[in-house]
């Protein structure tokens, strides 16, 4: 069982959790056959990294979560490093970090963290776990659930969906930008936001992926 495969499974389970993750959902997330996911979950369970109940799903154990957060930390540090040093766009960062995250040694991980000044978030706005896997309290909310006419700042955007991320970039809906929700469609959940003095319609599927926090906006 290759270490890269183990880390990919654990990270995916963390991203899909914290509730028990269905085998089918995990297989789709990793683009593998359900039978392959089942076999891997059995092996991870034998290693004490996953609690797996057949036909009911699987969840990370404390040991599995620590391993998963270690991978998440490396991935997000690499995204930050590539963005700051090579000026790669947000739409390029995820795939490149995926290729490099498994090869990053603890020594290089610490060196990158120190070089970057111990960043708290990556270029997509996702919190970077600390060296021991610690994460700050989650205070961000989906854009679609934000109250109307309350100032907000974009805090997180998705990193896996390149097409959605490209659209967000083109509209200026990126971390750090200030906005205000002015309308919500009662039927499909889409929203209208005021951004840079203009009105922008955001589909429900996008509004669910973008996260915001308290902030000032015009």
Pairing of strands 50-53, 178-184: unpaired
* pLDDT, average across residues 171-181: 95
pLDDT recorded at residue 217: 45
Q: How far apart are CA 118 and CA 73, in angstroms?
A: 11
pLDDT recorded at residue 2: 54
* pLDDT, average across residues 190-207: 94
Q: How far apart are CA 71 and CA 18, in angstroms?
A: 16
Closest CA to 212 of 193, 188, 197: 193
* pLDDT, average across residues 113-138: 93
pLDDT recorded at residue 208: 93
**Distance, CA of 74 to chain centre:** 13
Q: What percent of the chain has pLDDT over 70?
A: 97
> What residues have CB less than 8 Å from 39, skipping those under 6 apart?
none
The confidence band for 1, taking pLDDT boundaries of 50, 70 and 90, is: very low
| Whether pTM exceeds 0.85 | yes
Task: Give me the chain's average pLDDT, please.
Answer: 91
Q: Is the pLDDT of residue 19 over 90?
A: no
pLDDT recorded at residue 218: 44
- Contact by Cβ (8 Å): 61, 51: yes
pLDDT recorded at residue 216: 52
Q: Indicate the DSSP class of residue 21.
A: B
Q: Indicate the DSSP class of residue 49.
A: S
Q: Which domains does the chain have, with CATH numbers?
A: 3-60 (1.10.10.10), 141-214 (2.30.30.90)
* pLDDT, average across residues 60-73: 96
Question: Which of 19-23, 28-32, 203-207 is predicted with the least confidence, judged by mean pLDDT?
Answer: 19-23
Q: Is the pLDDT of residue 16 over 50?
A: yes
* pLDDT, average across residues 150-164: 91
């Amino acid at each position: 069982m290759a270490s890269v495969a183990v880390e990919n499974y654990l990270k995916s389970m963390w991203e899909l959790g914290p509730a028990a993750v269905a085998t089918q959902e995990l297989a789709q997330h990793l683009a593998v056959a359900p039978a392959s996911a089942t076999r891997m979950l059995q092996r991870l369970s034998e290693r004490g990294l996953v609690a797996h109940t057949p036909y009911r799903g699987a969840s990370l154990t404390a040991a599995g979560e620590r391993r998963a957060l270690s991978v998440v930390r490396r991935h997000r540090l690499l995204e930050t490093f590539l963005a700051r040093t090579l000026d790669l766009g947000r739409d390029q960062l995820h795939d490149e970090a995926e290729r490099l995250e498994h090869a990053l040694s603890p020594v290089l991980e610490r060196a990158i963290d120190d070089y970057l000044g111990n960043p708290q978030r990556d270029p997509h706005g996702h919190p970077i776990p600390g060296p021991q896997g610690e994460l700050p309290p989650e205070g961000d909310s989906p854009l679609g659930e934000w109250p109307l006419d309350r100032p907000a700042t974009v805090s997180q955007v998705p990193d896996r969906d390149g097409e959605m991320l490209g659209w967000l970039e083109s509209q200026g809906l990126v971390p750090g930008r200030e906005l205000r929700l002015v309308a919500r469609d009662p039927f499909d959940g889409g929203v209208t936001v005021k951004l840079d003095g203009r009105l922008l319609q955001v589909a429900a599927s996008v509004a669910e992926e973008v996260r915001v926090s308290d902030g000032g906006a015009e």
